[in-house]
Amino acid sequence: MGVFLALSRLIDLITEAIGKSVSWLLLAAVLISAGNAVVRKMFDISSNAWLEVQWYLYGTVFMLAAAYALLKNEHVRIDVLSGTWSKRTRDWIDLVLHIIFLIPFALLMTWLAWPWFWLSFTTGEMSSNAGGLIIWPAKLVVLLGFGLLSLQALSEVIKRFAVITGRIRDPREHVMTGEGSETNGAKGN
């Protein structure tokens, strides 16, 4: 189990680094959007390329931050239901649903995204908009996003199994507050 926990920690480190890094792309997207609006209003000049860059940046953040949201337990769940269950029940449900739904879905999307990206890359697919950009970088981000989500789902399965079997304490459960007291950091717990 130690090897699997080490793999989980490595995946978590990668996800954390990527998740924190891509957050800066939101700032870039906002600055580009504001700059584009100012130039369009002041000089009556506009470019589809600038609009597409914004779309690429927002899409990159969304796709690459999905795994980070899973790592931080910030993904959508039905707290009305899960809040009534015991922690052990929630752990089992997370484990089973990650195995039967999340991992197969993320792997399927990764598998389907590969030829979709590769065809775009090898043909030099361009946007149909006048002055538009090449398309393959956006498709690459979809491939990478689902690949990273697959890895993070595997990490979560490893951690849930280790928590359920008593090998580790729940990393989502104990978060230190600024006052030094422990609080429950898991959503819906």
How high is the pLDDT of residue 178?
A: 42
Rounded to 5 degrees, φ, ψ at 28 are: -60, -45
List the structure tokens of 184: 């429950």
Q: Which domain holds residue 72?
A: 2-76+85-170
Domain-embedded: residue 96: yes
The tens digit of pLDDT for each residue in 138-158 reads 999 999 999 999 999 999 999
Residue 189 lies in a domain: no
Distance CA 82, CA 25 (A): 33
Give domain status of residue 182, yes or no: no
Task: Look at the chain and report how many structural domains it folds into.
Answer: 1
Using DSSP bridges, classify how beta strands 182-184 and 174-176 pair: parallel, antiparallel or unpaired.
Answer: antiparallel
In a domain, 176, yes or no: no
Share of the chain above pLDDT 90, in %: 67
For 88-114, the pLDDT digits (tens) are 998 999 999 999 999 999 999 999 999
Q: What pTM was estimated for this model as a whole?
A: 0.84
Query: What is the structure's pLDDT at 74?
Result: 87
